[in-house]
Structures are given as C-alpha cells and as structure tokens.
Amino acid sequence: MSTSFTLDDLRRILREAAGADEGVDLDGDILDVQFESLGYESLALLETGSRIEREYDIALDEDLLADAQTPRTLMAAVNQALGTVQSAA
C-alpha cells in the first residue's frame, strides 16, 4: 500500500466510484477545480470517500468529505489521516 495519496490515486478512485463526465478532463490540471465543476456531487464524493477508507484502511470524517471542495483539499485530508495512521503504528 502507498504511504501517500496522490492525484493519480484520486483520479482512479473517482473514475471507479462515479465515472467521469464526458466534458471533463480528469487528466488535466484539476487540483483546484471544484468537485461540482468536475461533475461530482455529494453522493459521488461519499462513495469516493468510502473507497478511499477501504483501500487505505483509514477513517475519514464525514464533515471533512462535505468540506473538501477540491481535489487538493481532499488529498490533504487523506494524507493527514494516513500520517496519523502511520504515526500510530
């Protein structure tokens, strides 16, 4: 398992969890693009969060998922959780 959560990891999980809108280029510069503009609403993000939790064996706060408006903020939260898990090991 990876020790950090990357943009490529997020892209893969977003596609697995909710697919991708035809008009959206997930492979572009999306770090600071709002999830809503990328075509992902709250239900898609909840599914994405669930997949991240299972794959990385972490727990993400539901409020964190609701507050994460961009890939950058979600990645930072996941990496913070991974750091917490690693330091507890």
Q: Please tell me which residue, 79 or 24, carries the higher pLDDT value.
A: 79
pLDDT at 21 over 70: yes
Look at residue 59 in the predicted model and tell me its pLDDT: 92
Look at residue 87 in the predicted model and tell me its pLDDT: 55
Look at residue 1 in the predicted model and tell me its pLDDT: 47
Domains and CATH numbers, the chain: 7-88 (1.10.1200.10)
Look at residue 69 in the predicted model and tell me its pLDDT: 94
- Measure the CA–CA gap between 53 and 33, rounded to whole angstroms: 23
DSSP for 32-68, written as a single string: TS-TTTTT--HHHHHHHHHHHHHHHT----HHHHHH-
Look at residue 2 in the predicted model and tell me its pLDDT: 52
Can you give the pTM of this predicted structure? 0.86
pLDDT band at 88, cuts 50/70/90?
low
